[in-house]
Chain A
Amino acid sequence: MGEVIVVTSGKGGVGKTTTTANLGAGLALMGRRVALVDADIGLRNLDVVLGLENRIVYDITDVTGGHCRLRQALIKDKRFEGLFLLPAAQTKDKTAVSPEQMKALCAELKEEFDFVIIDCPAGIEQGFKNAIAGAEKAIVVTTPEVAAVRDADRVIGLLEAAELRDPKLIINRIRPRMVRAGDMMSIEDIVDILAVDLLGVIPEDEMVVISTNRGEPIVQDEHSRSGQAYRNIARRILGEQVPLMNLDEGGFLARLWRRMIRG
């Protein structure tokens, strides 16, 4: 019996889809069977980030509408053994699925997978309500921006109202140098306001842009710091105690060295 986790944020563009893809791939790398569900109906992206867009035949609305069996709609990942994607529909909208259907779908998926990770759409309307309906745990993603933290706070309140207690926090795209200069909110500032457990911190990394555009999750890149951060989070989800990584970028030589080994 698996765990159903929803990845949400309130605000758009903070990295929900990237996080979903990388956590799924990371957990699959560690030998778990993982199903990723794209709940962003009408604006599907998760398939693109995973590089699986060309394999879509059926989508989530075909499953809930009874047009195909769940197994037919699940796309097996081309690189990671044990990773599957249930894509969203692109030609429908959020009303195409109901919270009850999502609950039933999640219940069916968790029979077969160790982890079911749901990529929630931005916003707090129907799409959000659908995405959280079948979830047992929640991960809230935010960036160190006042607006994103405000929205994360709103979403945590809504999750608690929906009986999804103790959500875990991921802070994405932090720039240690800007934090040191006092130009960016620090990890402490954010945790102080949101008052939830910190699951991990992802440093700002250009490689993430490249990897999402290529459809290759960064988590498999041994040399990237953000990939390391995602692997650490995957290990924490599996119950390991992994300390937060040192976010210091190091001096010029250290950065040059990393760039060289990265090739």
Chain B
Amino acid sequence: MKRGTPEVEDNTILIRRTLRSGQKVYYDGHVVILGDVNPGAEVVATGNVIVMGTVRGVVHAGAGGNEKAMVLAFRLEPIQLRIANHITRSPDGPLQKPTGPEVARIKNGVVTIEAYSP
């Protein structure tokens, strides 16, 4: 699958644990996490970020300016989500919880979150 693949080298790191508050992962490439990203944890990747779990912390895909990077998670409930130089935050007040996997990417210059369909 080449669609949405950023132009960085296709290095990928696999993290087989939940990232807890205070823990940070930075990787020059893609990051795949088998676990959750808890509030207070941070994931920064120059490529895509894929979380096989719930994102409640901060994720940054395409760090360094890759606008084609995306964030994909089973449950996407981040405090803050960044792609390339775009920063978005969770809405103030009560939010509706996602019920399925979602993907965040830049569309027409805006970070857009949609249900994920392979």
Chain A residues engaging chain B, CB cutoff 8 angstroms: 150-151, 153-154, 156-158, 160, 193, 195
Q: How far is the CA of A228 from the CA of B48 in the complex (A)?
A: 50
A to B CB contacts below 8 Å, 17 in the list = A150-B21, A153-B20, A153-B21, A153-B38, A153-B40, A154-B20, A154-B21, A154-B22, A154-B40, A156-B20, A157-B23, A158-B22, A193-B38, A193-B39, A193-B56, A195-B18, A195-B36
Please, which residue of chain B has its CB at the minimum distance from the CB of A193?
B38
Chain A residues in 8 Å Cβ range of B23: 157
A157 touches B21 (CB 8 A): yes
* Minimum distance in angstroms from B31 CB to a CB of chain A: 18
Chain A residues in 8 Å Cβ range of B36: 193, 195
Chain B residues in 8 Å Cβ range of A195: 18, 36
Q: Which of B1-58 contact A (CB under 8 A)?
A: 18, 20-23, 36, 38-40, 56
Chain A residues in 8 Å Cβ range of B21: 150-151, 153-154, 157
* Minimum distance in angstroms from A136 CB to a CB of chain B: 21
Q: How far is the CA of A198 from the CA of B40 in the complex (A)?
A: 22
Chain A residues in 8 Å Cβ range of B22: 154, 157-158
Please, which residue of chain A has its CB at the minimum distance from the CB of B17?
A160
Q: How far is the CA of A151 from the CA of B18 in the complex (A)?
A: 15
Q: How far is the CA of A156 from the CA of B19 in the complex (A)?
A: 11
Which are the 6 A-B pairs with shortest beta-carbon distances?
A: A157-B20, A154-B21, A153-B21, A154-B22, A153-B20, A153-B38
* Minimum distance in angstroms from A47 CB to a CB of chain B: 32
Chain B residues in 8 Å Cβ range of A154: 20-22, 40
Q: How far is the CA of A63 from the CA of B89 in the complex (A)?
A: 52
* Minimum distance in angstroms from A133 CB to a CB of chain B: 19
**Contact A150/B39 with A157-B23, A193-B56 known, Cβ cut-off 8 Å:** yes
Q: How far is the CA of A17 from the CA of B13 in the complex (A)?
A: 41
Known contacts A150-B39, A151-B21, then 13 further A-B pairs from the complex at CB < 8 Å, ordered by chain A residue: A150-B40, A153-B20, A153-B21, A153-B38, A153-B39, A153-B40, A154-B20, A154-B21, A154-B22, A154-B40, A157-B21, A193-B38, A195-B36
Q: How far is the CA of A158 from the CA of B20 in the complex (A)?
A: 9
Q: Which of B48-80 contact A (CB under 8 A)?
A: 56
Please, which residue of chain B has its CB at the minimum distance from the CB of A10?
B21
* Minimum distance in angstroms from A151 CB to a CB of chain B: 7
Chain A residues in 8 Å Cβ range of B40: 150, 153-154
Q: How far is the CA of A157 from the CA of B18 in the complex (A)?
A: 9
* Minimum distance in angstroms from B37 CB to a CB of chain A: 11
Q: How far is the CA of A41 from the CA of B39 in the complex (A)?
A: 31
Chain B residues in 8 Å Cβ range of A153: 20-21, 38-40
* Minimum distance in angstroms from A8 CB to a CB of chain B: 14
Q: How far is the CA of A150 from the CA of B21 in the complex (A)?
A: 7
Q: How far is the CA of A71 from the CA of B18 in the complex (A)?
A: 43
Q: How far is the CA of A153 from the CA of B40 in the complex (A)?
A: 9
Chain A residues in 8 Å Cβ range of B38: 153, 193
* Residue from B23, B38, B40, B56 having most chain A Cβ neighbours under 10 A: B38
Please, which residue of chain B has its CB at the minimum distance from the CB of A149?
B39
Q: How far is the CA of A154 from the CA of B40 in the complex (A)?
A: 8
* Residue from B20, B23, B56 having most chain A Cβ neighbours under 10 A: B20
* Residue from A150, A151, A157 having most chain B Cβ neighbours under 10 A: A157
